[in-house]
Amino acid sequence: MLPESAEDFRTIWLNPDDHSVVQVIDQRKLPHDYSIHELRSWTDGVVAITEMTVRGAPLIGATAAWSLYLASLHGIAPEAEIRTAAAALLESRPTAVNLRWAVERVLARVDTASQDSDLVALTRLEAESICDEDIAICRGIGEHGLRLIEEISARKNGAPVNILTHCNAGSLATVNWGTATAPIYFAHQKGIAVHVWVDETRPRNQGSQLTAWELAANHVPHTLIVDNTGGHLMQHDKVDLVITGTDRTTRCADVANKIGTYLKALAATDNNIPFYVALPSTTIDWNSRDGILEIPIEERDPLELTETCGISNGKSICVRTVAPDTPVSNYAFDVTPARLVTGLITERGICSASEAGLLGLFPEMREI
């Protein structure tokens, strides 16, 4: 059944009737088909992450946590199975740091087990906590980010606030609410007029296929644009605010996000438009400083560029759109240097895009 409001957009859960099955929304089929995909083993979890049945940094982390729970159901050597699964999960996608964070968190819980029979309950508890916390964190981001939208709305005397976003940092990328979308959903629910410019986000089209779909389902006014349109809109005063998500942000606030984010930040800076990044603290890599040098950038299958897929007469089809043998590079992410980011919206508040800003909100990370 299609969700009816932002509250109902949960993306991952344990099947209430069969605790050996984790269920997720199959994001490969959206927007044409809303269907539930079942994970029955940790290898299903790895494949779901690799093939982008689930995607988005926080949801990748949550899926990894539930995959470790599925590994714990292994009857013979559950702890060895969990550790094998953890190693495979860590390899599944390189850029989103939530994956490592979630795996390490579940493994820390596994270390507290005094016997194998504790493992199922412990991994389940941790996976559930990770999901519940993600929802609470996204709500926190929504509450803090709402202030930015309210201020712009007041300045515009209630005329719609035009927000540009890239990729899908929505409910579908998290357990619920999203990061970049949470302030938008909160504003919309409060009756503030908002309009979202949705970047198509080539080549996987997370904008046109996922963000546009979930904004429509939540009745948020939006318009789809090709990726290169943002600069033009900014020059013509049609963008008040940019909010994106991130897959990994360094302690110095360099931001890795979907390829093309950097160009939006450049255009926003040139046009004096605030460029904010919404992020849960689980996306901060406290061990890295220079994003361009230190963040691994995923390169994906050239087929994502050379083929275009969609629905024709009710059937899904993919067609080749470029000449055979055309050389292709398919970088999935880029890094926006902190100097181009106006601020970071976190669950603890909004801060400057700097180490000092982040440590002001997360002082417990000073010594790391």
In whole angstroms, give the CA distance from residue 25 to residue 174.
Answer: 11
**CA R_g for the chain:** 20
- Residue whose tokens read 């995959």: 67
Distances in whole angstroms, Cα of residue 225 to Cα of each of 57, 199, 202: 23, 5, 11
Stretch that binds ligand MRU, among 115-123, 165-173, 216-224, 306-314 (CB under 6 A): 165-173
Q: Does 246 bind ligand MRU (CB under 6 A)?
A: yes
Q: Does 56 bind ligand MRU (CB under 6 A)?
A: yes
User: Are 343 and 317 a contacting pair, CB within 8 Å?
Assistant: no
Q: Which of 62, 169, 187, 239 binds ligand MRU (CB under 6 A)?
A: 169
- List the interface residues with ligand MRU, window 194-233 (CB under 6 A): 206
Catalytic residue among 199, 227, 240, 247: 247
> What H or E segment, with its residue span, contains residue 198?
strand 194-199
Stretch that binds ligand MRU, among 114-122, 127-135, 242-250, 266-274 (CB under 6 A): 242-250
Q: Does 11 bind ligand MRU (CB under 6 A)?
A: no
Q: Nearest 5°: CA angle at 103, between 99 and 108?
A: 150
Q: Which of 332, 338, 345, 353 binds ligand MRU (CB under 6 A)?
A: 332
Q: Which of 58, 140, 337, 357 binds ligand MRU (CB under 6 A)?
A: 58
C-alpha of 91 from chain center: 18
Q: Does 249 bind ligand MRU (CB under 6 A)?
A: no
Q: Which of 140, 183, 207, 245 binds ligand MRU (CB under 6 A)?
A: 245
User: Are 42 and 89 a contacting pair, CB within 8 Å?
Assistant: yes
Stretch that binds ligand MRU, among 77-85, 147-155, 171-179, 312-320 (CB under 6 A): 171-179
Residue 247 a catalytic site member: yes
- Residue whose tokens read 């992450």: 49
In whole angstroms, give the CA distance from residue 275 to residue 114.
Answer: 49
Q: Nearest 5°: CA angle at 259, between 254 and 265?
A: 55
Q: What is the nearest approach in angstroms of ligand MRU to the Cβ of residue 111? A: 28
Mind telling me the catalytic residues? 247
Instruction: Note the residues at the interface with ligand MRU (CB under 6 A).
Output: 55-58, 96, 167, 169, 173-174, 179, 206, 245-247, 257-258, 332
